């Protein structure tokens, strides 16, 4: 079996029919992993929903109620955080529709918790609802701020994290412990609301580049997305075209910020050497 510094927890609904495929993939690479039964939102009773969910708080933040699948997702990940704290080891959490790059096995699973935890509490290993073919555009449009390299992993803070999802992420033991503290009680936020994790608990959330995990969203539709689509309005193609000039300006501004941060960092190194 492959020597791995990082345990793997795969969250999977027993009725999804997906766990066999990812279990086979991980087994074929000779890595140890744990299949974690996800909470099934469809089976929650009204009394369980009332006890587990704060609808008023969710509406204040999002302007809508959370779906059962969104609530169940948060509860599922929270139960795995408890296991991470009990084990005392950082871990990777995957959802059962994850597609894994070779770098996942070669670099992510060999990450040194003590080194990585100096710059991050949570490392997002991929992004939901993103085609592999569009990765180059995402890397260009969403450059990383304060990028740094830890071992074979390059991580940094993206300009936007709202759509990052939770298909795969690394979380330190301390971060899992803190998350259990600030996420205690009725759920009032989406699991992949990473700005909420940052603001509520001070979590340092960074992204990995290039991504090592992808979501197989086209072949394996998500139950969360099925519920989210109810009543949602899709953007028209005309609006998308109209937004392009603004997006290009935004991208240029982001790279300007990255360049300034790079110059500032280089000047600091030169000054330190001079002193």
pLDDT digits (tens, 9 = 90+) for 14-37: 887 889 999 999 999 999 999 999
Q: Regarding predicted confidence, which is higher, 38 or 163?
A: 38
pLDDT digits (tens, 9 = 90+) for 57-67: 999 999 999 99
Strands across the sheet containing 126-127? 98-100, 213-215, 126-127
Residue 231 has pLDDT above 60, yes or no: no
* The pLDDT value given to residue 41: 93
* The pLDDT value given to residue 247: 65
Q: Using an 8 Å Cβ cutoff, are 159 and 261 in contact?
A: no
Q: Using an 8 Å Cβ cutoff, are 67 and 41 in contact?
A: yes
Residue 216 has pLDDT above 50, yes or no: yes
Share of the chain above pLDDT 90, in %: 62
Between 43-47, 216-220, 222-226, the lowest mean confidence (pLDDT) is in 222-226
Share of the chain above pLDDT 70, in %: 79
pLDDT band at 273 (very low <50, low <70, confident <90, very high): very low
Angle between helices 68-87 and 173-182 (to 10 degrees): 130
Q: Which residues contact 251 (CB under 8 A, 6 or more apart)?
A: 140, 141
SS3 letters across 72-109: HHHHHHHHHHHHHHHHCCCEEEEECCEEECHHHHHCHH
Which of 15, 59, 57 minimizes the C-alpha distance to 37? Answer: 15
SS3 letters across 199-244: HHHCCCEEEEECCCEEECCCCCCCHHHHHHCCCCCCCCHHHHHHHH
pTM for the model: 0.82
Where does 12-96 have alpha helices with state H?
A: 19-28, 46-52, 55-62, 68-87
- Angstrom CA distances, 42 to 37, 58, 211, 223, 248, stand at 14, 19, 32, 10, 42
Q: Regarding predicted confidence, which is higher, 93 or 251?
A: 93
Which pair of structure tokens corresponds to residue 10?
A: 């795969």
* The pLDDT value given to residue 14: 86
* Mean model confidence pLDDT for the chain: 85
pLDDT band at 242 (very low <50, low <70, confident <90, very high): low
Q: Using an 8 Å Cβ cutoff, are 2 and 109 in contact?
A: yes
pLDDT band at 9 (very low <50, low <70, confident <90, very high): very high
Q: What share of the chain is helix, strand, coil (3-state, %, to 5)?
A: 50, 20, 35
Which pair of structure tokens corresponds to residue 8?
A: 């793997």
Q: What is the mean pLDDT of residues 201-225?
A: 83
Task: Give the H or E element holding residue 113.
Answer: helix 113-116
- Angstrom CA distances, 167 to 85, 154, 176, stand at 20, 19, 17
* The pLDDT value given to residue 129: 84
pLDDT band at 88 (very low <50, low <70, confident <90, very high): very high
pLDDT digits (tens, 9 = 90+) for 119-178: 999 999 998 888 888 888 888 888 888 889 998 899 999 887 776 789 999 999 999 999
Q: Could you give the CA distance from residue 216 to residue 165 in angstroms, rounded to a whole number?
A: 13
């Amino acid at each position: 079996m492959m020597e791995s510094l990082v345990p793997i927890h795969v969250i999977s609904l027993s009725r999804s029919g997906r766990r066999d495929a990812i279990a086979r993939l991980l087994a074929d690479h000779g890595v140890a992993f744990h299949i974690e039964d996800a909470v099934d939102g469809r089976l929650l009773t009204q009394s369980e929903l009332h006890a587990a969910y704060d609808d008023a708080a969710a509406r204040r933040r999002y302007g809508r109620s959370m779906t059962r699948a969104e609530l169940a997702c948060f509860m599922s990940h929270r139960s795995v955080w408890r296991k991470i704290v009990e084990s005392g080891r950082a871990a990777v959490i995957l959802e059962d529709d994850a597609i894994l790059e070779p770098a996942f096995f070669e670099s992510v699973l060999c990450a040194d918790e003590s080194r990585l935890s100096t710059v991050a509490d949570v490392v997002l290993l991929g992004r939901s609802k993103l085609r592999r073919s569009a990765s180059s555009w995402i890397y260009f449009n969403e450059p990383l701020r304060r990028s740094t390299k830890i071992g074979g992993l390059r991580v940094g803070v993206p300009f936007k994290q709202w759509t990052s999802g939770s298909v795969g992420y690394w979380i330190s033991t301390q971060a899992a412990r803190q998350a259990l503290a600030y996420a205690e009680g009725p759920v009032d936020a989406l699991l992949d609301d990473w700005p909420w994790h940052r603001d509520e608990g001070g979590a340092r959330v960074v992204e990995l580049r290039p991504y090592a995990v992808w979501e197989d969203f086209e072949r394996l539709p998500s139950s969360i997305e099925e519920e989210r689509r109810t009543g949602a309005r899709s953007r028209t193609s005309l609006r998308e075209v109209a937004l392009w000039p603004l997006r290009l300006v935004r991208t240029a501004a982001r790279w300007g910020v990255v360049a300034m941060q790079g110059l500032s960092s280089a000047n600091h190194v030169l000054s330190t050497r001079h002193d």
